[in-house]
Amino acid sequence: MLGVDPGLTRCGVGVVDSLPGRKAELVAVGVLRSDPELSVDLRLLRIAERLDAWLDEHVPDVVAVERVFAQHNVGTVMGTAQVAGLAMLGAARRGVPVAMHTPSEVKAAVTGSGRAGKEQVQRMVAGILGLGELPKPADAADALALAICHLWRPAGALQGGERHELTPAQRAWAAAERTARTRTRAAR
């Protein structure tokens, strides 16, 4: 699972593997950077080349990308959306399904609260992955949180409709979630 926290200056990337018992293991984490002094097209090229290298090296089953949401700074939204598009395109070229998760979905998945702060997300990601220190910068922690979120909440997030299927592990997880919801309703 590759998580991508898109950004034009700093793009967080994190790879995690799913383990039995709703656990996850860190494979790799990093931040892809582009020089703000370069023109946007060259900055996008640098990020695209680095994303391609991560996709080729780690061969993820799914790429989880943060869903871009409206912000007051249009320039920030544009760069974020453009880099999100690069991640989705890179995945699509390799036949890898893409999942989109909002920041509040990601925060809720890893901390229990959709309003959690950056430091709380970093602490929870470190705890979930058994890390000795907080993943930094926040972009790296957010990328790992995206990957963890998708491991734990795969249903409904995949893009592409019928083109992509859930992995066997994701189907099993989705079935377990349905069963748990049914049991909870029955117990009420």
Active site residue 139: yes
Catalytic position from the list 41, 52, 57, 66? 66
Active site residue 5: yes
The CA distances from residue 84 to 67, 69, 113, in Å, are: 8, 11, 24
Catalytic position from the list 139, 142, 165, 177? 139
Active site residue 41: no
Catalytic position from the list 5, 52, 61, 162? 5
For 168, residues 6+ apart whose C-beta sits below 8 A from its C-beta are none
Cα(53)–Cα(46) distance, integer angstroms: 11
Structure tokens at 26: 């860190």
Cα(18)–Cα(69) distance, integer angstroms: 28
Which positions are catalytic? 5, 66, 139
